[in-house]
Structure 1
Amino acid sequence: MVSAPDIFNASILIVDDQESNISLLEQLLNEAGYTGVASTMNSQEVCALHRKNHYDLILLDLQMPGLDGFQVMEGLKTNAADRYLPVIVLTAQPGHKLRALQAGAKDFISKPFDLVEVKTRIHNMLEVRLLYKQLDNYSKVLEQTVQERTAELRESEARYRSLTELASDWYWEQDEHGDFTKVSGPVLEMLGIRVDSLAGEPSDARAGGWNEAEREALQIKIAARQPFLDFAFSRVNADGSQQKFRVSGEPMFNRSSRFIGYRGVGVETTAKN
């Protein structure tokens, strides 16, 4: 919510080529308690003043020499930093009201001024304007928070990857078809598995000597999309020696909850037994 002090401390620019109108509005606003009131009789400097001071509200006369109010509003629209045009137009021409609203003005005040109407419209406009600024600031904070959290997640993932590589002999990822898409570590030397799928060739995951019962049990877990921890499997090499391994893995899913493969780590345990 917008507090009363926020409203009365808002910055207001009065733009009118008639000094008497400016004096009347300044007196009215000052007596009402507004503290940030400025004015100009030169319509050509409004855009530059707004870029510099970021007014919460501009009271803009439509009929002025040099640039009229419609031209000023077109100039204000070029300020990319302000997506909300904080303008109330001042006009004695009823036919200009609709055109002004179509040009981007948020409200209008009729001349000659009705002092109660002036105070009411200005107060209401400032409340909406300040709420809009709060929302915009919240969106920026939210966007920054998302970016920070994303960076933290990426850092955490990189840290996890480093730790798993240090704590295991190899790290691996497979796609939904079972082909290796990413590995780190001596997979070929340890397992005899060629990871050629990275170059567009199918993975050779059928190096000889594997325990088929263990292989089948692991495939059942994978087919069921189950995670597995320290799953033991082994093979007998051509020279009769036996190798033992433990592998851990978890299924991966995209944002649509579609299965896209597995990732995990493995370690040879032969020397530990």
Structure 2
Amino acid sequence: MTLTEQERLDARILIVDDQPANVSLLEAMLHEAGYTQVSSTMEPDKVCAMHRKTPFDLILLDLQMPGMDGFQVMEGLKANTAEDDYLPVLVITAQPGHKLRALQAGAKDFVSKPFDMVEVKARIHNLIEVRLLHRQLARHNSDLERQVHERTAELRESEARYRGLTELATDWYWEQDGEGRFTKVSGPVLEMLGLQVEALSDSGEEHGDEGWNPAEREQLQARIAARSPFLDMVLSRELPGGVTRQYRVSGTPMFDASCTLIGYRGFGVEILGSNR
């Protein structure tokens, strides 16, 4: 992220001081430096409302003012600013003892009276750059969050479409957890495979194991143990009466954000004409 010189010079600056001479001096210095949006007020009680209406990129704030001092202004600004937002305040003080207190109150920097104009311009330049970069970063993070949200919604929609098309094009769709238990099935998978309804909550090892070709089952279980996808694996099962049915099953592993296996999902079809 970078700033152009014009972006910096177009920053919105507010001068808050009860002394007209100080206001005039700072305004002249800022205009001479090329800043295009400089405002001022000698009424500190109006600062919070002004900043709330149209936030400033930098507030030059005198600490010692009658009625409402700079510390009270900063408290009001903080009360109307999000906790993680940037408080763009450069305090002006003639009291060395106020500097630490001002920084603790939320000010980002300070300048001392009488003014050293070279120092004042340098500190203003630096704080405006930090403020504008902070704003750019906040916008960038917001854009990233929006993109992630949109991408997540797209993935969910894509997954729903995939599942719907799979259900239409195959005999059944299935999902298993990391322990091999069925967590979701669609289509006549339970009836076709001879599984009991309890297989959705209990291990598949306990239900419907009779008659399956042991070599094919072992090959499938080895692929699952290796966390590998499998495509069109054939499973044969001999039913009572000597009838053999064959099924073609495909599946892919599912992982969470930490790359931990959380299960499998896939689809299957019965191979027609396999009865013997």
Global fold match (TM > 0.5): yes
| Shift of residue 44, structure 1, vs aligned partner | 0.9
- 1:99 alignment partner, SS class: helix
Q: CA, structure 1 residues 223+109, in 2 after alignment: closer, same or farther (shift >3 Å)?
A: closer
State yes or no: 1:40 paired with 2:35.
no
| Shift of residue 239, structure 1, vs aligned partner | 4.0
1:180/1:195 contact within 8 Å kept: no
- 2:145 alignment partner, SS class: helix
- 1:77 alignment partner, SS class: helix
Matched AA of 1:159? R
**2:117 equivalent among 115, 118, 141:** 115
Unaligned runs of 5+ in 2: none
Q: Aligned residue for 2:22?
A: 21
| Shift of residue 202, structure 1, vs aligned partner | 4.1
Q: Aligned residue for 1:94?
A: 96
Q: What are the within-5 Å matches in structure 2 for residues 7-86 of structure 1?
A: 7-81=8-82, 83-86=85-88
2:81/2:87 contact within 8 Å kept: no
Q: Aligned residue for 2:150?
A: 148
Q: Aligned residue for 1:139?
A: 141
Q: Which moved more, 1:136-145 or 1:97-106?
A: 136-145
Q: CA, structure 1 residues 2+91, in 2 after alignment: closer, same or farther (shift >3 Å)?
A: same
1:57/1:87 contact within 8 Å kept: yes
Instruction: State the identity as a percent.
Output: 65
Q: CA, structure 1 residues 14+197, in 2 after alignment: closer, same or farther (shift >3 Å)?
A: farther
2:180/2:203 contact within 8 Å kept: no
| Shift of residue 271, structure 1, vs aligned partner | 4.6
- 1:154 alignment partner, SS class: helix
State yes or no: 1:248 paired with 2:228.
no
Q: Which moved more, 1:110-119 or 1:32-41?
A: 110-119
Matched AA of 1:104? G
State yes or no: 1:236 paired with 2:238.
yes
| Shift of residue 68, structure 1, vs aligned partner | 0.8
Q: Which moved more, 1:131-140 or 1:49-58?
A: 131-140
CA distance in 2, matches of 1:74, 1:259: 51
Deviations 1:196-252 (A, max 9, x none): 254x44445425433333223322332333322111122233244332211111223
CA distance in 1, matches of 2:158, 2:51: 44
CA distance in 1, matches of 2:32, 2:141: 35
Deviations 1:73-126 (A, max 9, x none): 111112334711111111111111111111111111111222222222211221
Matched AA of 1:172? W
Q: What is the RMSD of the two structures over their aligned residues, measured on CA atoms?
A: 2.0
Equivalent residue pairs, number: 272
Matched AA of 1:150? T
Q: Aligned residue for 2:159?
A: 157
Q: CA, structure 1 residues 114+215, in 2 after alignment: closer, same or farther (shift >3 Å)?
A: closer
TM-score (norm 1): 0.91
2:14/2:59 contact within 8 Å kept: yes
State yes or no: 1:2 paired with 2:27.
no
- 1:74 alignment partner, SS class: helix
2:245/2:274 contact within 8 Å kept: no
Q: CA, structure 1 residues 95+111, in 2 after alignment: closer, same or farther (shift >3 Å)?
A: same
- 2:257 alignment partner, SS class: coil
